[in-house]
Amino acid sequence: MIKQLLAESNTSANIENGRPTLVGLTRKINDKIFKDICGIQPASQPRATVYGIRYKMVSQDGSKTRETQGSHRTGTGKHPFKDHGLPVGSDSMTVGSHFSEYDYVFGAVKDGDYAGLTEKQLLASVLTGDLRLVTDADEDDSRAEVQSSRFIMDRWQSNVRSRRVKSPTTWELLHDMQGNNLDGSSAVEDLLATSISDEINSDIIMKTITVAKKGTPLNLSNGELYQQGRSLIARALELGADIQRNTTFPATFVLASPKVASAIRASGQVGNDDIIDGTNLKLVTDSKAIGEYLLVGSKLEFDGTDTVAPIHYSPYVESDSAGTYLIATDSNNLQPVPALISRYAITSSPDFSEVDGVQGDDWEKLANNSPLATLVTVNL
């Protein structure tokens, strides 16, 4: 491989065909990245840009807007958003009457006093059968007014940063290894790819831990290992349900420390594909965990372009999908040695209300705010 890299870096002929070793090495790096817990949007500029799209309902005068996802509020049917003309709840609502609170439209199933109730109380009344949410379609499709909507393309950016590594393997050592029937080229490739990807994974994991919301610690110190695993799975499902309720996106992965992951596996509920039985949660182990924890998150791809994830990894790629390599000189013996620079950016979507207007790599302000991941510490 060193001979090929030397040739590729020092020749001006056949440039378009001169980077197979580099491309292969770069692909090895990308193959080792934890793709199950982060979105991937490649970058081709020194400043990486990640995009996301949101849809909103808009009132007729344009002064009020509301996200279309995240709740059972409707605006395209019988009662348009904000322009329905309905009263608020009163203390003398009769069966069949409609009123609006918190951008919901409620219908009275039972006569009663519905004045001054909180959103939680009103929604609880729907579940007990006293009220219903009016999500009816419009029986009059000739009405002149049509509900307006708009889409918002969020954009967050981060400067591309780099990691650099060189191999101590010289050309002479490579020949010596080949003389002893050892595949030196593969060893060098694995060394470079593993060194870079291992640190990128650490960056991805620690950024995911940083932005994840923090839940109530879980104490399982008095349980048997099997039961601990079952309890951890139950807690993961609870956290996943919270994520789906708040974002509409189902949880897809569990990131855990080795001890926590082992307890989950001891429950007998994890298949060979690392999917927890009866769920769509993939178990990912943080082999270098700084403590015992369980993190549940959502990473989804739509049509291959739109990605939802707590963290976005943007590898910097050139037109041929390669990274950047160097032929460095060992200062001790002046021998050429291969080196690799991996350039990338990591961002988190700042389009949630708690950090509105914050850049995608302002980690102090993004900390503990992502609605797409929740972490709890565990005592086993």
Summarised one tens digit per residue, pLDDT across range 290-320 is: 899 999 999 988 765 567 889 888 887 765 4
Class of domain 2-46+160-379: alpha beta
Question: Is the model more confident about 345 or about 233?
Answer: 233
**Domain boundaries in the chain?**
2-46+160-379, 54-154
H or E element, residue 237: helix 225-247
**Better pLDDT: 359 or 271:** 271
The predicted-structure confidence for 4-60, as pLDDT tens digits, reads as follows 554 544 444 444 444 445 445 555 555 567 788 887 776 666 666 666 655 566 555
Arithmetic mean of pLDDT, 97-122 = 89
- Compute how many other C-beta atoms are within 10 angstroms of the C-beta atom of residue 62: 9
At residue 150 the predicted structure's pLDDT band, cuts being 50, 70 and 90, is low
Q: Give the SS3 label for residue 59.
A: coil
Residues 6+ apart with CB under 8 A from 252: 36, 280, 281, 282, 297, 298, 299, 300
Q: One-letter amino acid identity for 230?
A: R
3-class DSSP state for residue 280?
coil
The 10s digit of each residue's pLDDT in 208-248 is 999 999 999 999 998 899 999 999 999 999 999 999 988 88
Structure-block tokens of residue 346: 């990591």
**Whole-model pTM?**
0.70
Cα(239)–Cα(373) distance, rounded to whole angstroms?
9
What per-residue confidence (pLDDT) applies to 109? 92
pLDDT confidence of residue 308 = 84
What is the Cα–Cα distance from 337 to 174, expressed in whole angstroms? 10
Please report, for residues 94, 127, 134, the alpha-carbon distance to residue 118 in angstroms, rounded to integers and kept in the order given: 19, 15, 18
Q: What percent of the chain has pLDDT over 90?
A: 28
